[in-house]
Every structure is written in structure tokens, then in C-alpha cells.
Amino acid sequence: MDNKTEFKPYVPAQKITPEITVTSIIMGVILSVVFGAANAYLGLRVGMTVSASIPAAVIAMGVIRILLRRNSILESNIVQTIGSAGESLAAGAIFTIPALFLWAAEGKMDKPSIIEITLIALIGGLLGVFFMVPLRNALIVKEHGTLPYPEGTACAEVLLAGEKGGANASTVFAGMGFAALFKFIIDGLKAVSGEISVSVKGFAGQIGTQIYPAVMSVGYICGARISSFMFAGGVLSWLVIIPLIVMFGADMVLYPGTEAIGTMYAEGGASAIWSSYIRYIGAGALAAGGIISLIKSIPLIVKTFGGALKSMSGAGVSGNERTARDMNMKVVIAAIVVLTFVVWLVPAIPVSLLGAAIIVIFGFFFATVSSRMVGLVGSSNNPVSGMAIATLLIATVILKFTGASGAAGMSSAIAIGSIICIVSAIAGDTSQDLKTGYILGATPKKQQIGEVIGVVAAALAIGGTLFLLDKAWGFGSDQLAAPQATLMKLIIEGVMGGNLPWGLVFIGVFIAVVVEIVGLPVLPFAIGVYLPVQLNACIMVGGLIRLALDKLRRNEEEKQAIVNDGILFCSGMIAGEGLVGIVLALLAVFGVDKVFDLSAKLGIPSYVSDIGGIVLFAIIILTVLKFSLFKKRNKINEEK
């Protein structure tokens, strides 16, 4: 079957409508920077990012259709294409680049420059887009009936439901506004607690929850199943392993700790034990989870890569029809060659010619794998971290074997891993966007240009964002745990011969193996082991709200509308909190954050602050219900 001739897009190939316009570029660039910064903040906090395609599409429709009174679905599609690139580039960057800041804090090397970060992000993003040009025909067109590309298809459905665009856009903006207010009350005014914890005398475990709208929104978007796995990992760490460590090692000084475990617990509580020991166990579980997911995908990887290479003979060649025109392959190949030499020759990027060759070979391979994986299981389940781990292991071994060790070898390894990680993330995002465009009848070449614009905008912003967040709170802190970057740092140090508590790491590895044996998803569980239980509990609350709405006794169409409104509202909350987090970081950097600190000025007692936090958390939950369940109920009552 030739899906290309049978499938009829929404906008026929013969029809010419506006796509890349001044409006779509400006809106797309703004959304790329906004969602890129918000997801960088979110990912560094909770170790996960969320797709920006649907919120960007909804905002585009709201502005273009309602405010500008224009009716161009393909123009809205370009906005989401450009806008979603920022989220994907941020996801790839935060998994790796903060490791350079962590080494700088330890005095092992200088901090990376903004130019270095920008170039790494830019090269990784552009390679991710260019590698997908020859793969579009093979994976998007020829396998249209085989690869569903869930997010891309869902985004197309949202854009096709254009008449609802205004109401849906208002839901996203409402989420941004409410979350901005809540975040400012918690971390700006510090009028209420952002985290509430409970412990029992005589038991070293601890439980509690954070009070942040973005964290709860992650749970709602991921659903109860994934949230429960993360929470289970947190329970294992904080209510089982930490009490065991304190119980059996009270008088023991255990590396990497520098004082007796009992003293450490008495002075810093369960958090001190987590910081010294649990993070390494979680890192081992994360590494094992990433590798396990990659190993399980090997048959699919081999089949995908072989099939893509076979079907690429006619791919990437501009067709006569508008909907078949890709970027010129000569231009694409020339760009890839130039970028390869830039990686090698520009002094700001610490990569040799061998490293540049590794980037191109592994980059194209993992771009193919990433595209196929997101086509089957969606972007949320794409094992980008597993690909980055595999790349880092191989690249670090090669670099050490060729004599590149110490700080130079470590920075080179993380630069290679960063570019590959960004390539994989952008390739997956580009695939979803091209699927959306294929269904709608967009011009592939214009979408590919849009991806390039989005990558450039996000790359120019990500360096400043990372420097700002590091200056305000520091990576590896309670505010910004940076779990994946910490893991990548540990892997490179381990291969290069650094001193690591391998016993703790292997405990995490075998926890992951046990979880895999019993048939549970390893990565969300491993993230739960690594992160504080309070954060996991907040995510679990969001998952339970989603579960409650999923169980509503309504007809399927109405229930789906309620759930989708909640997803849009929560997507807005993630963006809103992320943006205020960036603003608060700016205030902290300039030393004016104390001006707004009511807790210091009024001397608010901790128990009052905790009660206020609980009340605010209840209000956050009610706002989600207001813009999902109650919003639909009001509409139904009005119709009656």
C-alpha cells in the first residue's frame, strides 16, 4: 500500500494558505523561549519535562483566530512547530550540561561560558532537525498507518477543533496566571510553606508533600499510573532505606559521608541521609533503568535503522506537490558537514575530530531511533536518557583510551553527550510536528524551517537561563536537584577513575533489576528513588486528581473533554510557575528578593505557615477542578 497516495490531508496539496508569516514567527519564537525556560526549570526540579506542542497550538489558535480574526490552521501549526522546539531543546540540555556547573562548584574545572552552552545547544538542535529531513518520507509518510505518533496526532486533532480554540486558549492562560500567583505567594512572599513534612519520633523515615502547582500538574499530565511508580520509589527511599541506614549504621562513618550517620541524622534529619547516600542509590537505579529500556528496544532499533536506510533512497528529494517538498538535501548535507567541522574547530566546544565523528555517527543513529520510538510510544516514553547514558559510556571509554582524561576528558565527554541528547530530543519533537503537518496538509519544508527557527531562539536563551538558575539556587540543591545531570556526572567520573561509592550505586542497579523483573516501568520508579519523597507525593496528588476524573460516570466524549481541559490548565500552570521561577531567580541574583519576604518581616510561626500551605494546596486543587470538571458542568447546565 502506498499511504502517500491514499491519505488525504485536511488542506489539499493544491491549496495555498499562509504558513510562515511574521505573526507565526514572532509568536513561535516567544513560545519557544517561554516553554524552553519553563521546562528547563521544571526538568531541573523534578527530572521530567512535558510536551509544549498542544499548549502552543491552543495559544496560537486563540491569538490568530480570536484576536487577529484570521483563519489559517497551517499558520497555527507553524507556531506550535517553532514553540515546541524550545521545550525539546531544554529537555536535552538540562539532562547533561548542568554537570559542567557541578564540576565547577567542586573546583575541578571552570564554569562553561554562555557561548559554549549556546553552541552546544544550537549544534545539537540543528543536527536533530537536519537528520530528520531524509527520514521524514521513510517514517512519517511511508509508515503513516503503522506509526501513530500520539502527540503529533493529538496536536492535529486540537488544531482541527478550531472553533473551540478561544475557550481552550483561555484555559491555558488561566493556568499560567493562577500558577504565577501561587508560586509568588509561596517562594516570593514566602507567606506559606512550600513543603510540609511529617516524621515520627523513634523512626528515621519522613513523609510529606510539596505545595507547588507545576509539580502537581506533572502528576496530572502523566496520570495516576506513572505518578504511583514515582511515589513508590520515594516511599522505598524515605520510609525503608533511610530508616535502615540510620538503624544499622548509627555509629558508623560510611563513605561518602564524613561523620557518623547518627550525628548526620541528628543534625540534618532524613534529608542529610538522602543527600549523602540515597542520591547514589537513585543514580544507580536511573542508569540501570536507562540501559534496560535501551536493551529492550534493540530489536526495534535494528529494524528501524535498517528499514530507514533502505527507504531513504527517495527520501528528502523535493516532490512536485506542496505537501511533499522537503528542504533541499544538498543544503542539508552541506549544513551537517559544516556543523561537524564547527564542533571540531571552534575552541569554545571541547571536542576533538574523533569526538565530532562520534557525534555525527551516534547522532544520526539515535535520531532514527528516537523518531521511531516516539512514533510508537510517544515522546514521554522516549528513552533519551538511556541513549545519552550509552553515548557517554562509549564516548568516555574511547576518550580515556585515546589519552583524554582529567578535566579535559570529562568536559569533552559531557559536550558529546549533550549534543547527542539534544539531537535525540529534537528529532523526536520534529517527528511529532511533521506528523501533525502531514495530517493537516502543511508544507514539510516550511515546518523544517520553523524547527530551525525554534532551535535557534531556544539555544540563544538556554545559556542565560542555566546561568541564572545556577546563580540563584545552584544545581544539585533542594530547589534544583538536576537528577539526570548528576547521573551523567557520576557515570563520567566512574569511567574516568574517580572515587565513587560503587556499593551504593550497585544497590540502585539491583533495585532497578528487581523492579524490571516484577514488570514495573523502571525509569519512573528510579526517578522516584532519587528525588525527595515530598516532591513525589505532590506529583501523586496530581495523579489522583486525574484518576478521579478518569473514573467519572459520564459519556466518553464528555469525560475526555473534562480531562483535556485539565491537561490544558495544568500545562498553563507549568509554564506560569516556570516563568515566575525565572523572575524570582532574577530577584535573588540582584539581591532584592528579601524585599518581598513576609516570613522574615512578620516572623510567621512555622505551624501557621504549614497550615497556610495546606489551605493553598487545597485552593490549587480546586482551581484544577474549576477549569476541568466544573467548567464542563456549567456549560451543560446552561445548555439545559
| pLDDT (0 to 100) of residue 149 | 82
Residues 6+ positions from 12 with CB-CB distance below 8 Å:
441
pLDDT of 466 above 80: yes
Between the alpha carbon of residue 38 and those of residues 52, 120, 180, 541, 576, the distances in Å are 10, 20, 12, 21, 8
Q: Which pLDDT tens digit goes with each residue over 400-435?
A: 888 877 888 899 999 998 999 899 899 989 998 999
Please list the residues that pair with 207 across neighbouring strands: 198
User: What is the rounded distance in angstroms from the CA atom of residue 412 to the CA atom of residue 404?
Assistant: 8
pLDDT of 437 above 50: yes
Share of the chain above pLDDT 90, in %: 36
Binning pLDDT at 50, 70 and 90, where does residue 512 land? very high
Q: Which pLDDT tens digit goes with each residue over 548-584?
A: 999 887 888 888 889 888 988 988 888 788 878 888 8
Average pLDDT over residues 74-91: 91
The dihedral through the CA atoms of 427, 429, 434, 439 has a sign that is positive
| pLDDT (0 to 100) of residue 636 | 44
| Range in 10-19, 299-308, 327-336, 629-638 the model is least confident about | 629-638
pLDDT of 157 above 80: no
Give CA angle at 19 (17, 20), nearest 5°: 140
Burial of 529 (0-12, 13-18, 19+ CB in 10 A): buried
Binning pLDDT at 50, 70 and 90, where does residue 634 land? very low
210: helix, coil or strand?
Answer: strand
Please list the residues that pair with 195 across neighbouring strands: 210
| pLDDT (0 to 100) of residue 365 | 80
pLDDT of 635 above 50: no
Hey, which of 37-51, 350-364, 573-587 has the most confident mean pLDDT? 350-364
pLDDT of 377 above 60: no
Nearest 10 degrees: Cα torsion 496, 257, 268, 200? 110
| pLDDT (0 to 100) of residue 464 | 92
Residue 418: which of 463, 374, 469 has the closest Cα?
Answer: 463
Q: Which residue has the cell 541524622?
A: 265
| Range in 122-136, 279-293, 300-314, 315-329 the model is least confident about | 300-314
How far is residue 311 CA from its own chain's centroid?
Answer: 31
User: What is the rounded distance in angstroms from the CA atom of residue 420 to the CA atom of residue 429?
Assistant: 14
Sequence-ordered alpha helix ranges (H) in 473-501? 483-496
| pLDDT (0 to 100) of residue 343 | 93
Average pLDDT over residues 91-101: 90
Tell me what the pLDDT averaged over the chain comes to: 84
**What single string gives the DSSP state of each residue in 319-338?**
PSSGGGPPPPHHHHHHHHHH
| pLDDT (0 to 100) of residue 580 | 86
195: helix, coil or strand?
Answer: strand
Cell of 315: 527520501
Average pLDDT over residues 535-543: 93
Q: Which pLDDT tens digit goes with each residue over 257-277?
A: 888 999 999 988 898 898 788
| pLDDT (0 to 100) of residue 407 | 85
User: What is the rounded distance in angstroms from the CA atom of residue 444 to the CA atom of residue 433?
Assistant: 10
8 A C-beta contact, residue 305 and residue 362: no
8 A C-beta contact, residue 325 and residue 318: yes
Amino acid sitting at position 96:
T
User: What is the rounded distance in angstroms from the CA atom of residue 587 to the CA atom of residue 589?
Assistant: 6
pLDDT of 162 above 80: no
Rg (alpha carbons) of the chain, rounded to whole number: 24
| pLDDT (0 to 100) of residue 442 | 94
pLDDT of 101 above 50: yes
| pLDDT (0 to 100) of residue 624 | 95
The DSSP output letter for 592 is -
CB atoms within 10 A of CB 211: 27
| pLDDT (0 to 100) of residue 507 | 94
Between the alpha carbon of residue 209 and those of residues 387, 535, 537, 613, the distances in Å are 32, 6, 5, 10
Cell of 450: 520553523
Domain ranges in the chain are 3-173+289-488
Which is more confident, 309 or 597?
597
Average pLDDT over residues 586-595: 79
Average pLDDT over residues 323-349: 91
User: What is the rounded distance in angstroms from the CA atom of residue 247 to the CA atom of residue 250?
Assistant: 6
